[in-house]
């Protein structure tokens, strides 16, 4: 990420913050919170400032109320560490995706792959059948904005997922928002990110998303927990209460943006049995879902 790209990212992050009157944070307000001049901040947003001191970046991150994971992405963007700039060290993106997809097919646990926009680019047969991702939903998904996005799966009224979440329901939904905000941070100034978020905010079907996204963004300090390393319960119609553990998720570099392999590990004897039955019936196998790495935009 070069300085002009970072400047656009900083401007997008600033505009996503609001003051006490619910107005977009201005350059003057952010400069005041950061302890620098408005002119200096303008230089950064225009990409004219070459050096970005650690103390300045820390002040900006604090003023923008970034979580620890968001700060990590913010700092990498600021120093120009962008895995898309290092294709020679990585396999071709399509090869990387093919390898990851082949691994997904063989995982005998509920698992799926998301990209940096939280679009589900592939899911194995176990998780598709566990959550009853029906043919009807698959027909709808390509025809709506972000139809395969994980946030739609978690928050949409068309999805049964949030209705079967058991204990820890509220925490899981908040974690889903925070995970999305963290992995998408380098792309906040991209047209597709704005297109996606605008669609979620306008869609009456995503009212629950708007509630949690606004609630998270309005907190004075964001907690740094995610659904990783946490247990959660599903109140499944066929299997009863299923307990899962979600291990840590590390980014997988491709040269065309990061991918994330997310698995749900059974955390009870009943859940082990349920996953074994699903694996026996539906594994191996997986489906490719959201377009990747290209993203479809209106008029294209």
Tell me the whole-structure pTM to 2 decimals. Answer: 0.90
**The pLDDT value given to residue 217:** 56
200-248 per-position pLDDT tens digit: 999 999 999 999 988 765 444 445 655 567 788 999 989 999 999 988 8
149 close to 113: Cβ distance less than 8 angstroms: no
Domain ranges in the chain are 3-81, 93-288
Distance CA 195, CA 298 (A): 9
Give the rounded percent of residues in the chain with a pLDDT score beyond 70: 90
Helix residue ranges per DSSP H, the chain? 3-16, 27-34, 38-46, 54-63, 68-78, 93-106, 125-130, 135-140, 150-155, 161-164, 169-183, 191-202, 207-218, 269-282
User: 111-115 and 259-263: which strand pairing?
Assistant: antiparallel
Sheet containing 240-246: order of strands: 230-236, 240-246, 265-266
**The pLDDT value given to residue 42:** 95
Distance CA 213, CA 215 (A): 5
**The pLDDT value given to residue 221:** 45
Q: Which residue has the higher pLDDT, 298 or 43?
A: 43
Architecture of the 3-81 domain:
Orthogonal Bundle (1.10)
Q: Which residue has the higher pLDDT, 49 or 274?
A: 274
Architecture of the 93-288 domain:
2-Layer Sandwich (3.30)
**The pLDDT value given to residue 40:** 94
**The pLDDT value given to residue 140:** 85
Helix residue ranges per DSSP H, 230-299? 269-282
Q: What is the Cα 246 distance to its own chain's centre?
A: 15
257 close to 84: Cβ distance less than 8 angstroms: yes
């Amino acid at each position: 990420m070069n300085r002009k790209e970072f400047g656009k990212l900083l401007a997008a992050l600033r505009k996503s913050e609001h003051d006490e009157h619910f107005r977009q944070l201005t350059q003057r307000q952010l400069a005041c919170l950061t302890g620098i001049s408005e002119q200096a901040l303008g230089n950064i947003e225009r990409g004219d400032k070459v050096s970005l001191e650690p103390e300045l970046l820390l002040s900006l991150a604090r003023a923008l109320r970034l979580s620890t994971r968001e700060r990590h992405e913010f700092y990498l963007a600021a120093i120009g560490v962008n895995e898309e700039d290092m294709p020679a060290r990585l396999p071709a993106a399509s090869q990387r995706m093919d390898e990851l997809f082949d691994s997904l097919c063989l995982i005998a646990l509920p698992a799926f792959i998301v990209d940096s926009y939280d679009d589900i680019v592939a899911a194995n047969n176990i998780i598709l059948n566990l959550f009853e991702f029906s043919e009807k939903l698959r027909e709808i998904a390509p025809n709506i904005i972000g139809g395969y996005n994980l946030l739609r799966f978690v928050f949409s009224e068309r999805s049964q997922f949030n209705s079967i979440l058991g204990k820890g329901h509220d925490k899981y939904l908040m974690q889903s928002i925070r995970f999305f905000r963290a992995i998408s941070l380098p792309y906040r100034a991209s047209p597709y990110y704005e297109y996606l978020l605008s669609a979620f905010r306008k869609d009456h079907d995503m009212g629950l998303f708007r509630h949690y996204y606004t609630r998270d963004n309005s907190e004075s300090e964001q907690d740094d927990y995610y659904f990783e390393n946490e247990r959660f319960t599903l109140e499944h119609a066929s299997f009863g209460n299923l307990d899962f553990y979600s291990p840590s998720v590390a980014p997988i570099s491709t040269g065309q943006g990061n991918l994330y392999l997310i698995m749900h590990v059974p955390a009870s004897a009943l859940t082990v049995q349920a996953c074994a039955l699903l694996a026996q019936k539906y594994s191996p196998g997986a489906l490719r879902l959201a377009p990747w790495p290209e993203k479809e935009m209106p008029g294209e």
